[in-house]
Amino acid sequence: MVEKAEMVTTQEEQAKYNEFIAKIGRGEKIEADDWMPEDYRIQLIKLIAMHGLSEIMGAFPEKEWVPKTPTLKRKLSLMAKVQDEVGHGQLLIRVAEDLMKPLGKSREDIMSDLFSGKLKFHNVFHMETKSWADAALIGWLVDGAAIVTQKMLAHTSYAPYARALKRIILEERFHAYHGEDMVIALGDGTEMQREMMQDALNRWWPALLMFFGPPEEGGLKSNQEQNIRYKIRYKTNEELRQEFLDKYVPQIQALGLKVPDENIYYDEEKQKWVYTHADYTYLRDVIAKNQGPRSQNRLNLRKIGFENNAWVREALLKKQEEIS
């Protein structure tokens, strides 16, 4: 009887899986309450939780420059941007939270997993910001790289993530315009300001290339093939990187800056950029082991904030229980 029951369950699961594949194949979206394969759920949790945590941890590099902005106008703009990024993080973690419920996990687990190293955040937000030009570059090129990735993910097969991304992208575009304005101001400034901008670009270039993840033939483990099969994403890491180079290499050159790669050129025949690949083993150490220049400092700051605000979460939970 037990074997027969297991057989029926297996057949039912296969039928659900086939319907799921057919559904995403027709371009239909999956909602949080729909049936989904466990590996699809796990991939989404990893992706969306990392995205949400990256938005929150990404506020730190720019937050460090709020007290040191050159003008009041810049201070107000940067403060608004930092607030936006934290809001994006909270929105995405809410999406991840729904996916984790069937596994018996909550928002608290997401933050605990960040502090223990089980969940990761993006490589660029482990970087040090040495000058005001770094803050300008983050708004211009890091947010620009994020938009390239998010535009693709906005067509994901998981509907709640797609809806959240459409809102986030609108605000990220303002951030990129803000960063571009800061870079242009530095470019129109003194020789020292232009050198500062070039220095920031030189230091951030490898991290920007790594932003999109390792290439398929890079020898590092990647989930991109599985995510493409499940239509969570539609492009490879290298396709996204080429899209970024298409857009920003001409802009960098137009601003009088030099792309810090002696070997970069556009291959007209292959219709793609040929460039010097970054050291992706560095990427593995930074993300998987939190060994970036500012990884531990920013994790400690986030942990202190999380612990100090525990009373707020407890008060909100108590109020919610009273209402219900």
Measure the CA–CA gap between 110 and 100, rounded to whole angstroms: 9
Lowest mean pLDDT among 2-16, 24-38, 233-247: 2-16
Q: According to the model, what pLDDT value does residue 4 have?
A: 58
Predicted TM-score of the model (pTM)? 0.90
**286 pLDDT higher than 90:** no
Q: According to the model, what pLDDT value does residue 321 have?
A: 82
Contact 57, 121 (CB under 8 A): yes
Q: According to the model, what pLDDT value does residue 2 have?
A: 47
Which of residues 219 and 104 earns the better pLDDT score? 104
Lowest mean pLDDT among 18-22, 106-110, 273-277: 106-110
Lowest mean pLDDT among 59-68, 96-105, 122-131, 315-324: 315-324
Q: According to the model, what pLDDT value does residue 157 have?
A: 98
Q: According to the model, what pLDDT value does residue 281 have?
A: 83
Q: According to the model, what pLDDT value does residue 44 have?
A: 97
**11 pLDDT higher than 90:** no
Q: According to the model, what pLDDT value does residue 6 have?
A: 60
Which of residues 141 and 226 earns the better pLDDT score? 141
Give 183's contacts (C-beta < 8 A, 6+ positions apart).
136, 137, 140, 197, 255
- Helix residue ranges, H only, the chain: 2-25, 38-57, 59-63, 72-100, 107-116, 132-137, 143-153, 159-187, 191-210, 224-229, 237-254, 280-289, 295-308, 310-323
